[in-house]
Amino acid sequence: MATKTTKVIPTKGKIYITATFNNTLVTLTDEQGNTLFWGSSGLVGFKGARRATPYAATTAVETVARKALDGGMREVAVYIKGPGAGRDASLRALKSVGLGISLIADVTPIPHNGVRPKKKRRV
């Protein structure tokens, strides 16, 4: 008979928040980058346009952070990506849960010249 193994949660970790215009995705990893917990505005129960709201982002981050806190995590480094409405709200939610924030980094990809523009329209 197989024995059930319990997940050992470290005290330090990283939290990746992707705030898009339609949703907010949250992934909590250990320091090596192995996913421990994840969640999103849709997973919490918001549907349609309400997923894009700051409140939905707050709820999604809170659920993931509470799981981590119950498991024994105390400090996280936060990496935020994207232009969505949940950027600031997610940081406030992390602070309110009680996780210590050691680093806040914006990792939104910025093009250094982007793609070639479409050819000019002739009318």
* Measured distance CA(81)–CA(93) in Å, rounded: 16
Structure tokens at 44: 């919490």
Band the pLDDT of 72: cuts 50, 70, 90: confident
Helix (H, G, I), strand (E, B) or coil at 53: coil
Q: Tokens 């600031």 — which residue?
A: 88
Indicate the domain borders of the chain: 17-106
Count the alpha carbons within 13 Å of 41 in the hemisphere toward its beta carbon: 27
pLDDT digits (tens, 9 = 90+) for 78-94: 999 999 888 999 999 99
Q: How far apart are the first and last CA of the chain?
A: 75
Average pLDDT over residues 24-40: 93
Q: What is the pTM of this model?
A: 0.85
- Architecture, CATH, for domain 17-106: 2-Layer Sandwich (3.30)
